[in-house]
């Protein structure tokens, strides 16, 4: 009996330590800087990437996040989707409060994730109104929403094409990866800009090869939250779509000479777990050759 009580006490202690550790981990983020070279730019460029905030805050009014952004001095802030949690109006407010501050630092370009797409497509009128009001308020700050659209970003002698992919929700189906239809990207985005440096904001990294083939010189993704749990020597365990061992879970990939950078995200939802997988602010330096 005493042995059973001792084993139970050890188990309870381990679980308590795990809960405390997760509580601490979910309140921290790391800064990861990625670099690459390109002949399509006349000067070195700096971009900050935010993805999968999901209503999280780091310090009062996100002061810790703002501090890192100010130190980096990005020339543009690029949103790779899921700044909110669908239907959670408190997350809308937190995202809006952050946009109030970062819109003063640099131009902000907002690509959609599955949570924003659900906000657009919901048949719940109250939820739809709340999301529409969120979009209206954020747009008033000067943030540029890119819903299967392309705009030009002028930075000195460089004119950069920035496209935002609003991926059909069938490509986010749980427990499986749906093959992308041939020419899907061309049908929703048109042709990639082959003359200018082409950035693509594409939330779901499952289709990284397709993004590179479309012609994106730099694709910025999120969605997989770094795989939630990372195993030493193996990488991520599973994605928020409940697919095991996602191929592009976080980091920098070169595909057919193109760059794909996948953020591990700044927040979580539903499964509030991060094991060996701290939240991440992504900073990108594109260096002119």
List, for residues 6-24, the tens digit of each pLDDT value. 766 666 666 676 677 677 7
* Residue-level pLDDT at 84: 97
**What residue has token string 């509580």?**
23
H-type helices in 47-196, by residue range?
Answer: 63-72, 89-102, 114-121, 125-140, 184-189
Beta bridge partner(s), residue 126 = none
Neighbouring C-beta atoms of residue 95, cutoff 10 Å: 26
Residues 90, 95, 97, 100, CA torsion sign: negative
Cα distance between residue 83 and residue 33, in whole Å: 20
Confidence of residue 230 (pLDDT cuts 50, 70, 90): confident
- Say how far residue 65 (Cα) sits from the centre of its chain: 15
Confidence of residue 89 (pLDDT cuts 50, 70, 90): very high
- Label the pairing between strands 258-262 and 218-221: parallel
pLDDT in tens, 134-172: 999 999 999 999 999 999 999 999 999 999 999 999 999
Mean pLDDT of 94-106: 97
Angle, vertex CA 59, rays to CA 104 and CA 24, nearest 5: 140
Neighbouring C-beta atoms of residue 133, cutoff 10 Å: 13
Q: 45 with 286: CB under 8 angstroms?
A: yes
Predicted model pTM: 0.91
């Amino acid at each position: 009996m005493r042995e059973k009580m001792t084993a139970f006490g050890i188990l309870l202690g381990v679980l308590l330590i795990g809960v405390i550790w997760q509580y601490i981990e979910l309140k921290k983020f790391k800064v990861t800087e990625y670099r690459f070279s390109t002949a399509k730019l006349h000067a070195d460029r700096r971009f900050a990437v935010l993805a999968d905030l999901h209503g999280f805050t780091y310090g009062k009014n996100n002061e810790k996040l703002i501090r890192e952004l100010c130190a980096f001095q990005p020339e543009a802030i690029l949103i790779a989707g899921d700044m909110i949690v669908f239907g959670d109006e408190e997350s809308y407010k937190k995202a809006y409060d952050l946009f109030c501050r970062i819109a003063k630092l640099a131009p902000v370009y907002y690509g959609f994730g599955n949570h924003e797409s659900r906000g657009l497509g919901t048949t719940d009128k109250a939820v739809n109104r709340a999301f529409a009001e969120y979009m209206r308020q954020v747009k008033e700050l000067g943030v540029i929403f890119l819903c299967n659209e392309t705009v030009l970003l002028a930075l000195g002698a460089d004119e950069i094409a920035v496209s935002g992919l609003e991926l059909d929700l069938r490509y986010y189906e749980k427990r499986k990866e749906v093959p992308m239809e041939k020419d899907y990207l061309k049908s929703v985005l048109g042709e990639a800009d082959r003359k200018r440096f082409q950035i693509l904001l594409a939330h779901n990294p499952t289709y990284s090869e397709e993004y590179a083939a479309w012609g994106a010189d730099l694709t910025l993704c999120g969605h997989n939250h770094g795989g939630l749990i990372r195993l030493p020597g193996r990488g991520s365990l599973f994605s928020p779509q409940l697919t095991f061992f996602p191929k592009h879970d976080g980091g920098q990939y070169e595909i057919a000479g193109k760059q794909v950078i996948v953020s591990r995200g700044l927040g979580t939802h539903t499964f509030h777990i991060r094991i060996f997988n701290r939240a991440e602010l992504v900073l990108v330096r594109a260096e002119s050759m």
